[in-house]
Amino acid sequence: MSNLDDLYREIILDHYRSPRNRGELATPPACRAEGFNPLCGDEITVFIQVENDVLVDIKISGHGCSISQSSASLMSAAVKGKTLDQVHQAIATFKQLMTVHEANIDDPEPVAVDIRALGELAALQGVVKFPVRIKCAILAWNTLDQGLQDFVS
């Protein structure tokens, strides 16, 4: 498991040092949502552009701890170009990953979430060993969720 932990740490650091989809989009046509995690001081602004039920573009700005920023970067890479159904599914799966682990923190049984389907996002599963950091990891996802509500017709 320690090799896997090392790999996960590498992925998180890589996304922290070289965040994907960093920047802003013009609003409109894009819409923006802001999220704040007062426990840690993390701030995330998510810009999304949706066309024909596809999340055609996403940009992230903000600042905060390595977990919050790398989670935002991983999220942007995971959802860009996906249909809104797929995006909502990714949000649900990620939240489930955090929640399931939270409930089973000392339980070595495999979780009900399909880790393989998460790709690099699986790197964040180690965060749940530190419950205070879950809010850091989930901030970008909640912010994206909030932004998507503007596109509900």
Q: Does 65 bind Zn ion (CB under 5 A)?
A: yes
The token pair at 72 is: 């935002």
Strand order in the sheet with 31-37: 31-37, 42-51, 54-63
Complex with Zn ion: residue 40 or 100, whichever CB lies closer: 40
Number of H helices and number of E strands within the chain?
A: 5, 3
Considering only 20, 25, 42, 122, the residue that binds Zn ion (CB under 5 A) is 42
Q: Does 98 bind Zn ion (CB under 5 A)?
A: no
Residue 98 contacts residue 43 (beta carbons within 8 Å)? no
Identify which range of 7-15, 47-55, 66-74, 108-116 contacts Zn ion by CB under 5 A. 66-74
Three-class SS state of 78: helix
Q: Does 113 bind Zn ion (CB under 5 A)?
A: no
Alpha-carbon radius of gyration of the chain: 15
Identify which range of 8-16, 33-41, 52-60, 121-129 contacts Zn ion by CB under 5 A. 33-41
Q: Which residues bind Zn ion (CB under 5 A)?
A: 40, 42, 65, 68, 136
